Structure 1
Amino acid sequence: MRIIALSFALATTLLIPSLAQAAPNCTAEPTDKWMPEGAMKAKVAALGYERIKTFKVSGNCYEIYGYTKDGKKAEVYFNPVSGDVVKANIGG
């Protein structure tokens, strides 16, 4: 019984941080309703994000890794239908 409890505690400890890093829920719309990647990339640039190192689909979001116009690191999740920012992590 003690081994089962320890295994559960270890699994929970490892799983919770990965759940916290999961992509947000950006849309329930099917991918054929999503903005084309080229149009989204143009919107990202118009919003002031620069030097985009990564542009990808993450769950049901578009996600970028790049920099703000002020030079701060940015990880940003966008609604792929509207292009609105759903979640942004801006660093120093």
Structure 2
Amino acid sequence: MKTFVAGLVAASVLAPVAAFASPACTSEPKDKWMSEQAMQAKVAEMGYQKIKTFKVTGSCYEIYGYTKDNKKAEVYFNPVTGAVVKAEID
């Protein structure tokens, strides 16, 4: 029983952290998403460069790269519209 309670406590502490890490970008099914190639082209058009990582995170496309001003960027995009949902620029 103690293990079960400890697990619940750990889950309640970690769940908000996991939820904060990746925003909800869309509720649309994946067949409505832009292809990865189309999204990569859109990212380049928006001025992001030197993309080190391009991946699907939850309901988002996510990149790690640089802005056109050469600042580090972690950006989450709506995979249907290509709009920026969350950006952390250093």
Q: Please indicate, yes or no, whether the TM-score normalized by the shorter chain is above 0.5.
A: yes
In 1: Cα distance, 2:37 partner to 2:73 partner: 19
2:73 aligned with 1:74: yes
Query: How far off its partner does 1:90 sit?
Result: 0.3
Partner of 1:63: 62
2:22 aligned with 1:23: yes
In 2: Cα distance, 1:12 partner to 1:81 partner: 31
Cα 1:28–1:20 change in 2 (3 A) is closer
For the residue of structure 2 that corresponds to 1:54, the secondary structure is strand
In 2: Cα distance, 1:73 partner to 1:30 partner: 30
2:87 aligned with 1:88: yes
Query: How far off its partner does 1:15 sit?
Result: 1.7
Structural RMSD (CA)? 2.2
Query: How far off its partner does 1:20 sit?
Result: 5.9
1:47-68 alpha-carbon deviations (Å, 9 max, x no partner): 0000000000000000000000
Q: Is there any run of 5+ residues in structure 1 with no aligned partner, and where?
A: none
For the residue of structure 2 that corresponds to 1:41, the secondary structure is helix
Q: Is there any run of 5+ residues in structure 2 with no aligned partner, and where?
A: none
Identical residues among aligned pairs (%): 65
For the residue of structure 1 that corresponds to 2:21, the secondary structure is coil
